[in-house]
Amino acid sequence: HGSVYTLVVHGGDGCASHAGALCSGGDDGRTAVWRIADIVAAADAKTNEKIETVRPAHVFVNPQQSFPRGALGAVPETNALGSDAARGVLFAAAGDGVCYGWDVGDGGRKAPTFSLKGHSDTLHCVATRVLANQVVTGSEDGTARIWDARTERASQVVNPWAATETSASGGHTSGSPLHNGDSGQARASKWVGCVALDAAENWCAMGCGGGTVTMWSFAANACASRVTAGTGTAVQAVRLTGERVVAAGNTPFLFRWNLAGKLISRQPCRPESVFAIDTSKVGAMTAVAGACAAVDIFSALGTKVATARCA
Amino acid sequence: LALAEMASDQLDELVGVLGRMRDAADRLASSSGDDDAFREAATDASLLFLELKATNRAALEGVEATRATTAKAKLDLDHKRLELQNVLYEKGHIQKEIRACQDFRSAYDDETIGLCSVAEFKRQAPGEWKEAGDDPHAVMLKRLSHELAERKKLCELEKELEARKRTLQDGIKSRRKFLDGLGNQLKGLKRSTAPLQEHLALPITVEEKRKGAARLLPPPLYVTYTQLAAAREAFDDDFEVHIEGSVADAEALQRKAAAAEEEEARRREEGAAAETVAEAEYKAAGTFAGDEEETRKSKRARISDENEHAVDESDPYTAHPLRVELRLGGASFTFTYLHNLHVVTANVKPREGGASANKGNRRGKGGGDETVDDDLLVNLFPGDTGADTPNIANKLRVAGFEYDRSRRDRPYRWAQHLAGLDFLAPVPVGRAPGADAETGVAKHQQQARVRNVLAALRARMASRSALKSQLRALARCDIDGLAVAKRLEMHPKSQLRSWREITPQAGGTVATGDDGPAGDDAGENDRYREETDAGTVADRLAGHDVQATNTVASDWRHSEKNFWPPSDHGVRTYRALVRAARQSGSAKHRTVPVDVVAEVSVSPEYPQRPPTFALSLERRVPPKPLPASDLDSKDDSVAASKDEDATPGDASNDLRLIEEEVNVRTTALLPTGGEDDILGYCVVRLLQAVDACAECERWGGASDEAVGVRQMRRGRERRKELPPLL
């Protein structure tokens, strides 16, 4: 029910194999896991007149906040999903500021396997660093946090807007209340709209509402550089492709920088507000989608090749 | 036989004598030396001569006797033959007479005489029947005499009846004379009551005059008039129906039409005569003269055609001099009939001296010039723009005929229906209208059209009046002046700074607004025009072209699903400037007020088609496209200082959310009965939404301060929760 905000492929080496699962999350706070095999079968069985319906294999519901006298809060929406195929865990960045981890293999669970608590406001994005068992989340509170998925604790709290980082290993526990000591400092910042890792999982790009993208180096454990998309662009989607940073936000432009932070290109695109960017592994084509019934496709060089319209 | 025997006997005798004579001769010859014998033989021979003489005499006598007998018999035969001839002649004559009798035909055959049947005769005159016996002839004679008697009786009866008829006719004549005189008397009576009528406000005389004028109306307008008048009589409704225009002209036209008809009839007769003559000629000539025939026929057709439309063929918009006027509230709707197009058009204008004339009306007070616009009637019923003639025949008659859209009178479909003109929709070639089409037409004809139309007109006028009052309040930027303001618990903090109309001039509207999608695109273009990046605009326009062709197709699809396109004119656009209220705590941003510009399109179908809002941020300083070198050298401070400005890019998510809220959801939130005030609701909702966005944080920035545990933002587009409308 409601908008679908995120769609990821979990395991199975992408769509090529039918073994994987497609996971979707949206405004209703549910995370649905669909077997790709089911979807392909339905697509094969589809006739012109009738559209086959596919039922999800599992549905995980984000827990509601409880209040005194049994009152329940609103169902927090799932804004982003991150998949850790190696451990079989799906991370759901929820609207209540908690990142829930769901065991994909255990569909009957009512409660999440674990919760990463610490952000003081809505989570906007999540990325999984599978090799290091780490999770990066970005939040409305203006910080990005790097979590150790094993201990469910934040190892770093990054403010991408100021390009500063603080170690969270000190006083905070994973169960700390929403308004803790450093939230005042975080409040002054722009929200973190998107995070992305490169293929080798050595770099993390954090896009934030003020129109900047901050590059985080896991090797140095520090902010490496910060690029600006110009005023007025709240970065909502970012990708790292080799030596390029591709980002877009609520202006109809697609930005490209090199890792040194130099602007390579600024291309107009159809969506007025871009919510998703993806790049192909082969050919380095970039697809851009957003608040528009069309998907723009850009070449590796940054020129627009095609526009796919949703009829 | 006796004679024949006798003759043959005499012949035998003669033959015998001759034989004996030959013997005697032989003996004479042989007795040449013997004298005795010779003498004897000579004596015998002499005797034989005597005998021959006697026999010859007897034979001659016999012949004579035979001849006499024969002559006698011949005489007898002749006599007998004469008698036979007489008898034969007599027989032939008699037979001829018999045939003539048999072939006799009376001047009156039995059927025409109508003789009563045998059975009837038997029933009516049993005695005579018995007397007649079995002889059919006698029976017939009796029947005839019976018939004669009966007829005589009937003749007498007829005479009696004639006499009675005459007396009755005389009575009728005298009574009619009385009635004819009565009319004059009554007229005099009526004339004498005129002052009384005036005094009591009884419109009897006026009504009568109107009825006289109604007789001169062309049939469609007559239907319209009678239906409206009947509705008025039946429901005692608060509207008036009048007939406007020159009665004299109408009379002249009617006379002319009658004359033309007569002429036409005469011509047709002549034509028929000419045709027979031509046919006769054609037969006599015995040659094929098809071409000539055809030309003659076409000439005749042309002549008659010219005759019919000689006066007004040139102008398709020639109207009948009489019009039907419906006065409802503060407006008067005029129905006009166009001869040549055979359609009824309607237009609306403010009622002259409306207030004084309708003081007795219940709803008359709401009327006024300002509620009545040209576009009041547009899309009164879905899709009925009145932009083109509903009569397909017009298009066929004049190829590519288009109704002149600049005219104020428009041929709306409902006007045709009111006038009883039902034009069937064109059916694609090769598909005959099925039975369902016929039932559809039948059902269509049973609708309560007058009431529907009047209800629609009333609703449209009421909502238009509500719309106008809202627009007046908005033009004064007076939110409290809106009807909705009384129902608000908390007034929105954001201010409506200005509200002005930016509707393009009439010519422009017609040019750009041919159909709905084009109008939408124009709105989008406006939004794009604000972008200064030339590349972007070009790119958008390229995309827009593709989209335009797509929208034509999609428009067609929509119309299949009863989607009715917006009208081609009457959409008014307003530009509203809303200044967002700053939160009290955020003093440091007070220097930069945020102004939201809303372009509001109000369609003439309001409120069926709610107003649409297109939002953008007022841009004070046109931003320059950032040069690449600038980006290279930028640092935190540059970014931070730039960030102080709120720019449209920042707020596009928010603005789209507000648009969605105002354009889509507010319609669903309306309380019942609030449809007419939807513009007010939308504006209030816009202010509330702007409030909510301004409350949360700076535009496009992070939250100014923590607002408790409540989640302020939701979803990828960082949606803000809005307070309830009322």
pLDDT one-digit tens code per residue, B227-245: 888 888 887 677 888 888 8
Contact, B474 vs B499, CB < 8 A? yes
List of E strands, A13-113: 21-26, 30-35, 58-61, 78-84, 89-94, 99-103
CA atoms of B404 and B384, how far apart (whole Å): 16
* Cα three-residue angle A265-A270-A275, rounded to 5 degrees: 85
CA atoms of B187 and B183, how far apart (whole Å): 6
Specify the pLDDT at position B333. Answer: 86
B306 or B269: which leads in pLDDT: B269
CA atoms of B455 and B478, how far apart (whole Å): 31
Specify the pLDDT at position B164. Answer: 96
> B541, B716, B719: which to substitute to probe chain A, counting the most A Cβ within 10 Å?
B716
Interface size, chain A vs chain B, as Cβ–Cβ contacts under 8 Å? 119
Cβ–Cβ gap A250/B706 under 8 Å? no
CA atoms of A288 and B441, how far apart (whole Å): 52
Cβ–Cβ gap B700/A209 under 8 Å? yes
CA atoms of B348 and B373, how far apart (whole Å): 7
Specify the pLDDT at position B314. Answer: 64
Residue from the list A189, A227, A250 with its beta carbon closest to the beta carbon of B652? A250
Which candidate, A253, A263, A286, A227, places its Cα nearest to that of B533? A253
Contact residues on chain A for B541, CB-CB shorter than 8 A = none
Nearest-CA distance B499 → chain A (Å): 27
The 10 Å Cβ neighbour count of residue B152 is: 9
B343-363 mean pLDDT: 60
Residue of chain B whose Cα is closest to the Cα of A191: B702
Q: What are phi and psi of B384, to 5 degrees?
A: -95, 80
Contacts of residue B21, Cβ cutoff 8 Å, sequence gap at least 6: B45, B48, B49, B52
Q: Where are the alpha helices (DSSP H) in B530-612?
A: 534-560
Specify the pLDDT at position B257. Answer: 83
Q: Does A3 touch chain B (CB under 8 A)?
A: yes
CA atoms of B344 and B317, how far apart (whole Å): 11
CA atoms of A246 and B87, how far apart (whole Å): 146
Q: Does A230 touch chain B (CB under 8 A)?
A: yes
pLDDT tens per residue across span B585-641: 444 444 466 788 888 888 877 777 788 888 887 765 444 443 333 333 333 333 333
Q: Does A268 touch chain B (CB under 8 A)?
A: yes
Nearest-CA distance B527 → chain A (Å): 11
Q: What are phi and psi of A72, to 5 degrees?
A: -120, 145
A66 or B530: which leads in pLDDT: A66
- In this model, does residue B154 exceed pLDDT 90? yes
> A28, A228, A235: which to substitute to probe chain B, counting the most B Cβ within 10 Å?
A228
Which candidate, B582, B605, B614, places its Cα nearest to that of B698? B582
B474 or B425: which leads in pLDDT: B474
Contact residues on chain B for A212, CB-CB shorter than 8 A = 639
Cβ–Cβ gap B650/A140 under 8 Å? no
CA A241, A244, A245, A247 torsion-angle sign: negative
Contact residues on chain A for B536, CB-CB shorter than 8 A = 252, 268
Task: Look at the block and give the residue holding tokens 């072209």.
Answer: B545
Tokens of A227: 């690029």
Tokens of A132: 């290091």
Contact, A137 vs A144, CB < 8 A? yes
Nearest-CA distance B423 → chain A (Å): 36
Cβ–Cβ gap A3/B706 under 8 Å? no
pLDDT tens per residue across span B542-553: 333 333 323 333
What do you get for the CA distance between the two ends of chain A, in Å?
A: 22
Q: Does A232 touch chain B (CB under 8 A)?
A: yes
Q: How far is CA B532 from CA B61, B536, B622, B626, in A?
A: 172, 8, 8, 12
CA atoms of B329 and B239, how far apart (whole Å): 7
Cβ–Cβ gap A272/B656 under 8 Å? yes
Q: What are phi and psi of B431, to 5 degrees?
A: -125, 110
Range among B405-414, B690-699, B714-723 rated most confident:
B405-414
Specify the pLDDT at position B206. Answer: 72
Nearest-CA distance B685 → chain A (Å): 22
Contacts of residue B676, Cβ cutoff 8 Å, sequence gap at least 6: B462, B463, B466, B467, B607
Contact residues on chain A for B626, CB-CB shorter than 8 A = 230
* Cα three-residue angle B155-B161-B165, rounded to 5 degrees: 145
Cβ–Cβ gap A275/B716 under 8 Å? yes
Q: What are phi and psi of B392, to 5 degrees?
A: -65, -30
- In this model, does residue B558 exceed pLDDT 50? no
Cβ–Cβ gap B703/A187 under 8 Å? yes
Specify the pLDDT at position B592. Answer: 61
Nearest-CA distance A66 → chain B (Å): 12
CA atoms of B378 and B368, how far apart (whole Å): 19
Q: What are phi and psi of B715, to 5 degrees?
A: 85, 175
Nearest-CA distance B721 → chain A (Å): 12
Residue of chain B whose Cα is closest to the Cα of A266: B628
CA atoms of B344 and B338, how far apart (whole Å): 6
- In this model, does residue B530 exceed pLDDT 50? no
Cβ–Cβ gap B533/A5 under 8 Å? no
Q: What are phi and psi of B403, to 5 degrees?
A: -70, 135
Specify the pLDDT at position B622. Answer: 44
DSSP 8-state secondary structure symbol assigned to residue A70: G
Cβ–Cβ gap B535/A211 under 8 Å? no
Specify the pLDDT at position A12. Answer: 64
Residue from the list A79, A231, A270 with its beta carbon closest to the beta carbon of B642? A231
- Among the residue ranges A117-121, A167-171, B156-160, B520-524, the one predicted with the least confidence is B520-524
The 10 Å Cβ neighbour count of residue B675 is: 18
Exposure string of B223-252, with b = 16+ CB inside 10 Å and e = fewer, is bbbbbbbebbeeeebbbbbbbebeeeebee
Contact residues on chain A for B623, CB-CB shorter than 8 A = 231-232
CA B377, B381, B383, B389 torsion-angle sign: negative
- Residue B214 CA, chain-centre distance (Å), reads 23
Evaluate the omega torsion of the peptide bond into residue B607 and state whether it is cis, within 30 degrees of 0. yes
Which candidate, B664, B701, B105, places its Cα nearest to that of A233? B701
Cβ–Cβ gap B647/A183 under 8 Å? no
- In this model, does residue B456 exceed pLDDT 60? yes
Contact residues on chain A for B645, CB-CB shorter than 8 A = 231-232
Contact, A33 vs A45, CB < 8 A? no
Q: How would residue B437 be classed by pLDDT, with cut points 50, 70 and 90?
A: low
- In this model, does residue A183 exceed pLDDT 50? no
Q: How would residue B352 be classed by pLDDT, with cut points 50, 70 and 90?
A: low
pLDDT tens per residue across span A126-152: 999 988 889 999 988 888 999 998 888
Specify the pLDDT at position B153. Answer: 92
Cβ–Cβ gap B716/A231 under 8 Å? no
Contact residues on chain B for A27, CB-CB shorter than 8 A = 714-715
Give the pTM. 0.60
Residue of chain A whose Cα is closest to the Cα of B625: A230
Tokens of A177: 């209340």
Residue of chain B whose Cα is closest to the Cα of A248: B649
CA atoms of B627 and B637, how far apart (whole Å): 17
* Cα three-residue angle B651-A6-A200, rounded to 5 degrees: 105
Residue from the list B632, B645, B650 with its beta carbon closest to the beta carbon of A262? B632
